[in-house]
Structure 1
Amino acid sequence: MSTDPIVPLDPNWPKASLAEIRALLTAPGAKFELDTVDIGGVPTKVWKNAPPTLRILTQLVRAYGPREFTIYDDERVTYEANYRAVSHLAHRLREMGVGKGDRVALAMRNLPEWPVIYFATVSIGAIIVPLNAWWTGGELEYALNDSGAKLLFVDGERHERLKTCYDKIPALERAIVSRARGDLDGAALLDALIGTPGSWAALDDIGLPEADVLPDDDATIFYTSGTTGSPKGALGTHRNFVTNIMSSGYTAARAMLRRGEIPPEAPEHKTMLLVIPLFHVTACSAAMMTLVAAGGTMIFMRRWEPELAMEIIQREKVNMTGGVPTIAWQLIEHPNRANYDLSSLESIAYGGAPSAPELVKRIYEEFGALPGNGWGMTETTATVTQHSGEDYLARPSSAGIPVAAADIKVMDVEGRQDLPIGEVGELWARGPMIVKGYWNKPEATAETFVNGWVRTGDLARIDEEGFLYVVDRAKDIIIRGGENIYSSEVEDVLYAYPGVMDCALVGVPHKTLGEEPAAVVHLAPGASASESDLQDWVRHRLAGFKVPVKVLFAPETLPRNANGKILKKDLKALFVSDEVG
Structure 2
Amino acid sequence: MENKPWLQHYPDAIPKTIEIEEKSLQQFLVETAKKYPTKVALHFNGKEMTYQEVYESALKFANYLKSIGIQKGDRVAIMLPNTPQSFISFFGVLLAGGIIVQTNPMYTEREVAYQMKDSGAKAIIALDILYPRITKVQNETDLEHIIITAIKDYLPFPKNLIYPFIQKKQYGFSVKVEHGGNIHLFTEIMKAPPLEDPILDVNFDEDLAILQYTGGTTGFPKGVMLTHKNLVANAKMCETWLYKCEEGKEVVLGALPFFHVYGMTTVLILSVLQGSKVVLIPKPEPEVLLKAIQSQKVTMFPGAPTMYIGLLNHPDLQKYDLSSIDSCISGSATLPVEVQEQFENLTGGKLVEGYGLTEASPVTHANLLWDGERIKGSIGIPWPNTLAEIRDLETDEPLPPGEVGELVVKGPQVMKGYWNRPEDTEETLRDGWLYTGDLGYMDEKGYFYIVDRKKDMIIASGFNIYPREIEEVLYEHPAVQEAVVAGIPDPYRGETVKAYIVLKEDHSVTEKEMDKFARKHLAAYKVPRLYEFRDELPKTTVGKILRRQLVEEERKKLEQQTDEKQA
Q: TM-score range by the shorter chain?
A: 0.7 to 0.9
Q: Secondary structure at the match of 1:427?
A: strand
Q: Mean Cα displacement is larger for which, 399-408 or 124-133?
A: 124-133
The AA in structure 1 aligned to 2:359 is E
The AA in structure 1 aligned to 2:150 is R
Structure 1 partner of 2:239: 249
Give the Cα separation in 2 of the matches to 1:150 and 1:555. 42
**2:58 aligned residue (86, 90, 93):** 86
Offset at 1:475? 3.5
- The structure-2 alpha-carbon separation of the partners of 1:556 and 1:223, relative to structure 1 and needing over 3 Å to count, comes to closer
Structure 1 partner of 2:41: 69
Q: Secondary structure at the match of 2:412?
A: coil
Give the Cα separation in 2 of the matches to 1:363 and 1:282. 21
1:40-96 deviation line (CA, Å, top 9, x unaligned): xxxxxxx42446211321211112111111111122111000000111111111122
Structure 2 partner of 1:386: 366
Structure 2 partner of 1:184: 177
Offset at 1:113? 0.7
**2:125 aligned residue (143, 146, 153):** 153
- The structure-2 alpha-carbon separation of the partners of 1:439 and 1:314, relative to structure 1 and needing over 3 Å to count, comes to same
Offset at 1:346? 1.3
Structure 2 partner of 1:235: 225
Q: What's the % identity of the aligned pairs? A: 29
Give the Cα separation in 1 of the matches to 2:134 and 2:497. 28
Does residue 189 of structure 2 align to residue 193 of structure 1? Answer: yes
The AA in structure 1 aligned to 2:204 is P
Larger RCO: 1 or 2 (CA < 8 Å, sep 6+): 1
- The structure-2 alpha-carbon separation of the partners of 1:275 and 1:453, relative to structure 1 and needing over 3 Å to count, comes to same
Q: Secondary structure at the match of 2:272?
A: helix
Give the Cα separation in 2 of the matches to 1:268 and 1:194. 27
Q: Secondary structure at the match of 1:308?
A: helix
Does residue 208 of structure 2 align to residue 218 of structure 1? Answer: yes
Give the Cα separation in 2 of the matches to 1:308 and 1:409. 40
Q: Secondary structure at the match of 2:252?
A: strand
- The structure-2 alpha-carbon separation of the partners of 1:505 and 1:234, relative to structure 1 and needing over 3 Å to count, comes to farther
- The structure-2 alpha-carbon separation of the partners of 1:472 and 1:296, relative to structure 1 and needing over 3 Å to count, comes to same
Give the Cα separation in 2 of the matches to 1:167 and 1:553. 35
Structure 1 partner of 2:145: 174
Offset at 1:458? 0.3
Equivalent residue runs for 1:389-404 within 5 Å: 389=369, 394-404=374-384
Give the Cα separation in 1 of the matches to 2:346 and 2:334. 20
Give the Cα separation in 1 of the matches to 2:497 and 2:64. 46
The AA in structure 2 aligned to 1:61 is T
Structure 2 partner of 1:56: 27
8 Å Cα contact 2:76/2:122 also seen in 1 = yes
The AA in structure 1 aligned to 2:32 is V
Does residue 105 of structure 2 align to residue 133 of structure 1? Answer: yes
Offset at 1:268? 5.1
Structure 1 partner of 2:393: 413
Q: Secondary structure at the match of 1:358?
A: helix
Give the Cα separation in 1 of the matches to 2:558 and 2:253. 49
Offset at 1:115? 1.6
The AA in structure 1 aligned to 2:422 is P
Give the Cα separation in 2 of the matches to 1:549 and 1:228. 12
Give the Cα separation in 2 of the matches to 1:101 and 1:355. 38
The AA in structure 1 aligned to 2:385 is A
Give the Cα separation in 2 of the matches to 1:212 and 1:25. 29
8 Å Cα contact 2:379/2:450 also seen in 1 = yes
Give the Cα separation in 2 of the matches to 1:315 and 1:247. 30
Please give the TM-score of this superposition, normalised by the length of structure 2: 0.74
Q: Mean Cα displacement is larger for which, 107-116 or 218-227?
A: 218-227
Give the Cα separation in 2 of the matches to 1:69 and 1:146. 34
Q: Secondary structure at the match of 1:323?
A: coil
- The structure-2 alpha-carbon separation of the partners of 1:101 and 1:269, relative to structure 1 and needing over 3 Å to count, comes to same
- The structure-2 alpha-carbon separation of the partners of 1:71 and 1:430, relative to structure 1 and needing over 3 Å to count, comes to same
Offset at 1:554? 8.7
Please give the TM-score of this superposition, normalised by the length of structure 1: 0.72
**1:429 aligned residue (393, 406, 409):** 409
Give the Cα separation in 2 of the matches to 1:129 and 1:114. 12
Q: Secondary structure at the match of 2:367?
A: strand
- The structure-2 alpha-carbon separation of the partners of 1:551 and 1:432, relative to structure 1 and needing over 3 Å to count, comes to closer
Does residue 448 of structure 2 align to residue 468 of structure 1? Answer: yes
1:235-283 deviation line (CA, Å, top 9, x unaligned): 0000111112221122223xxxxxxxxx58x625111122121111100
8 Å Cα contact 1:106/1:153 also seen in 2 = yes
Q: Secondary structure at the match of 2:329?
A: strand
1:120-164 deviation line (CA, Å, top 9, x unaligned): 112333210001122111101100000000111111122232231
8 Å Cα contact 2:298/2:325 also seen in 1 = yes
Q: Secondary structure at the match of 1:230?
A: coil
Give the Cα separation in 2 of the matches to 1:555 and 1:55. 50
- The structure-2 alpha-carbon separation of the partners of 1:78 and 1:407, relative to structure 1 and needing over 3 Å to count, comes to same
Structure 1 partner of 2:89: 117
1:509-566 deviation line (CA, Å, top 9, x unaligned): 5579xxxxxxxxxxxxxxxxxx9xxxxxxxxxxx9978659955899779xxxxxxxx
8 Å Cα contact 2:354/2:380 also seen in 1 = yes
Give the Cα separation in 1 of the matches to 2:393 and 2:559. 28
Equivalent residue runs for 1:565-580 within 5 Å: none
Q: Secondary structure at the match of 2:147?
A: strand
The AA in structure 1 aligned to 2:30 is Q
Give the Cα separation in 2 of the matches to 1:280 and 1:73. 22
- The structure-2 alpha-carbon separation of the partners of 1:194 and 1:448, relative to structure 1 and needing over 3 Å to count, comes to same
Structure 2 partner of 1:452: 432
Structure 2 partner of 1:5: none
- The structure-2 alpha-carbon separation of the partners of 1:131 and 1:474, relative to structure 1 and needing over 3 Å to count, comes to same
Structure 1 partner of 2:325: 345
Give the Cα separation in 1 of the matches to 2:496 and 2:193. 57
8 Å Cα contact 1:90/1:208 also seen in 2 = no
Does residue 170 of structure 2 align to residue 209 of structure 1? Answer: no
CA RMSD of the aligned region, Å? 3.6
Give the Cα separation in 2 of the matches to 1:312 and 1:24. 31
Does residue 290 of structure 2 align to residue 290 of structure 1? Answer: no
Give the Cα separation in 2 of the matches to 1:379 and 1:214. 20
- The structure-2 alpha-carbon separation of the partners of 1:211 and 1:359, relative to structure 1 and needing over 3 Å to count, comes to closer
- The structure-2 alpha-carbon separation of the partners of 1:325 and 1:232, relative to structure 1 and needing over 3 Å to count, comes to same
Q: Secondary structure at the match of 1:165?
A: helix
- The structure-2 alpha-carbon separation of the partners of 1:418 and 1:18, relative to structure 1 and needing over 3 Å to count, comes to closer
- The runs of 5 or more residues in structure 1 that have no matched partner are 1-16, 27-31, 35-46, 196-202, 254-262, 492-502, 513-530, 532-542, 559-581
Give the Cα separation in 1 of the matches to 2:441 and 2:147. 47
Give the Cα separation in 2 of the matches to 1:94 and 1:506. 54
Give the Cα separation in 2 of the matches to 1:102 and 1:457. 31
8 Å Cα contact 1:124/1:210 also seen in 2 = yes
Give the Cα separation in 1 of the matches to 2:351 and 2:218. 35
1:309-354 deviation line (CA, Å, top 9, x unaligned): 2222221111122411111122222221222222211123311112
Structure 1 partner of 2:285: 305
Equivalent residue runs for 1:291-370 within 5 Å: 291-370=271-350
Structure 2 partner of 1:498: none
- The structure-2 alpha-carbon separation of the partners of 1:544 and 1:398, relative to structure 1 and needing over 3 Å to count, comes to closer
Give the Cα separation in 2 of the matches to 1:422 and 1:287. 34
How many equivalent pairs are there?
463
8 Å Cα contact 1:177/1:188 also seen in 2 = yes
